[in-house]
A and B are shown apart, each in its own frame.
Chain A
């Protein structure tokens, strides 16, 4: 949970995005002709945007990441990149819990694992503590190969296994965004890892579990399906959490997207999101899945909590209706896998 519920909170919540749809031409426009008790006299209400506190370090040419919805169709690379940062939910790992404005994308968030605790890194454009010195090719190398500018390998807690599929133009847009946000001088914290989590094994890990390469469209499928496949696989990296792991720490390909009941260090069960009728989401309609990703409400009227609540509020609730429909089409086209994790 990123917001404290106070008015000063900088983090937009899922419903703010809903309000955006409401005010614009989104999915809620249909409400206008429904009415309550037949007494409809006014159009949809305008949402109350959550005010953000002023940021002393922000200058006119910087972009405040918590304020940005992003726009995939913008003429501005920074706006397009901001949208991709939402779709990829960079905030989840690269921002501490209950952040102040200066915390956004400045790292420090602890990420528990069986190998110890990792700390999300500072990806603001600070020249020493962040990635301000990174040229486009450095970000490309990080996303596509999982390597730092000095060619050392990242731990796969950074899901380059997914980002390797990103389009060239999207990587460039993301670079433009990350260089446009305010630089923060938060020092990266060393990962607190068990003795056996050796960097020397990372090359071996990559040789077992990493296939470098851009996303390939499936010509047999339509444009929307392909857009959904690209977003789901290469950007939003849904499979990273929604799949069990093999003993060597790679995704169990037979159970990709089929959920896991053994996440390390938490009681949380990660659900099966294949359209299996009993153990997955086979009884969800595309409309219901879109609504879930938009506002967190599932077909039972329950609202997402835990890590998915954060994915929705910081990530998917900021995506366009078209992209959410594309993701829903792709997810619901997956091979149904019987895997009961509840």
Chain B
């Protein structure tokens, strides 16, 4: 039985040029990391579990706060709980990211360790914003609380934009 002809002469260059030319993705290029590679050490995993849990506390608090402060859910009496939790959790974010605590499960970018100075600045901005929010809530100053909520959201996004995938 005759084999079907392979149209090699046509398809090879065609496929090569087509497959390798086109695309539309656009991701920013990053410098190679100097931080140690991710480790699967169980102790590191526990550190990562803790910080992810702590971040969930922050996220859950922001979500609950938004429902009350922005959308009018009738739980004003709970605001101090959420704002207080945020102030505590955000007070020292870099402590959650010690040296050599990258892990395959972590969404942290290597920049957390490579560019520690910027990371600290962003974390401090978030800590200050959380403290302002807690103060405003304690004072029952709604306008300041909305403003501070905005400032904290801004700080969260600003840090995530460069330091989390």
Q: Could you tell me the distance in whole angstroms from the C-beta of B15 to the nearest C-beta in chain A?
A: 8
Hey, what's the 0/1 contact readout for B17-32 against A, CB within 8 Å counting as 1?
1111111111111100
Question: Which residues of chain B in 146-165 are interfacial with respect to chain A, using CB atoms and an 8 Å cutoff?
Answer: 146-147, 150-151, 153-165
Chain A interfacial residues counted at CB < 8 A = 89
Find out whether the CB atom of B64 lies under 8 angstroms from the CB atom of A263. Answer: no
Find out whether the CB atom of A42 lies under 8 angstroms from the CB atom of B27. Answer: no
Closest chain B residue to A32 by CB distance?
A: B142
Find out whether the CB atom of A35 lies under 8 angstroms from the CB atom of B76. Answer: yes
A66 contacts the other chain (CB 8 A) = no
Find out whether the CB atom of B157 lies under 8 angstroms from the CB atom of A13. Answer: yes
**Inside 8 A of B49's CB, which chain A residues have their CB?**
none
Known A30-B72, A31-B69, A112-B29; judge A13-B158 contact (CB<8 A).
yes
Which of B1-9, B40-48, B54-62, B90-98 binds A? Answer: B54-62
* Complex alpha-carbon distance, A304 and B62, angstroms: 13
Find out whether the CB atom of B156 lies under 8 angstroms from the CB atom of A303. Answer: yes
Q: Which of A43, A111, A247 contacts B143 (CB 8 A)?
A: A43
Find out whether the CB atom of A202 lies under 8 angstroms from the CB atom of B22. Answer: yes
Known A13-B158, A299-B63, A303-B153; judge A31-B22 contact (CB<8 A).
no
Q: Which of A37, A43, A155, A198 contacts B76 (CB 8 A)?
A: A37
Q: Which of B18, B23, B121, B162 contacts A115 (CB 8 A)?
A: B23
Find out whether the CB atom of B77 lies under 8 angstroms from the CB atom of A45. Answer: no
Q: Could you tell me the distance in whole angstroms from the C-beta of A173 to the nearest C-beta in chain B?
A: 24
**Inside 8 A of B72's CB, which chain A residues have their CB?**
30-31, 33-34
* Complex alpha-carbon distance, A198 and B19, angstroms: 11
Closest chain B residue to A269 by CB distance?
A: B165
Known A13-B157, A38-B76, A39-B142; judge A113-B27 contact (CB<8 A).
yes
Q: Which of A37, A93, A208, A248 contacts B79 (CB 8 A)?
A: A37
Known A14-B154, A30-B72; judge A313-B161 contact (CB<8 A).
yes
Find out whether the CB atom of B25 lies under 8 angstroms from the CB atom of A297. Answer: no
Known A5-B125, A39-B142, A266-B30; judge A115-B21 contact (CB<8 A).
yes
B12 contacts the other chain (CB 8 A) = no
* Complex alpha-carbon distance, A199 and B17, angstroms: 9
A157 contacts the other chain (CB 8 A) = yes
Which of A15-23, A136-144, A179-187, A327-335 binds B? Answer: A15-23
Find out whether the CB atom of B142 lies under 8 angstroms from the CB atom of A42. Answer: yes
Question: Which residues of chain B in 63-99 are interfacial with respect to chain A, using CB atoms and an 8 Å cutoff?
Answer: 63-66, 68-72, 76-77, 79
Find out whether the CB atom of B161 lies under 8 angstroms from the CB atom of A28. Answer: no
* Complex alpha-carbon distance, A152 and B146, angstroms: 52
Known A1-B158, A30-B72, A34-B68; judge A15-B24 contact (CB<8 A).
no
Question: Which residues of chain B in 106-121 are interfacial with respect to chain A, using CB atoms and an 8 Å cutoff?
Answer: 107, 109, 121
B100 contacts the other chain (CB 8 A) = no
Known A111-B27, A303-B153; judge A205-B63 contact (CB<8 A).
no
Q: Which of B19, B65, B151 contacts A15 (CB 8 A)?
A: B151
5 smallest A-B Cβ distances: which pairs? A305-B160, A301-B63, A249-B22, A201-B17, A201-B21
6 further interface pairs, Cβ-Cβ under 8 Å (given A251-B24, A306-B165): A14-B154, A15-B157, A22-B150, A301-B58, A306-B161, A307-B27
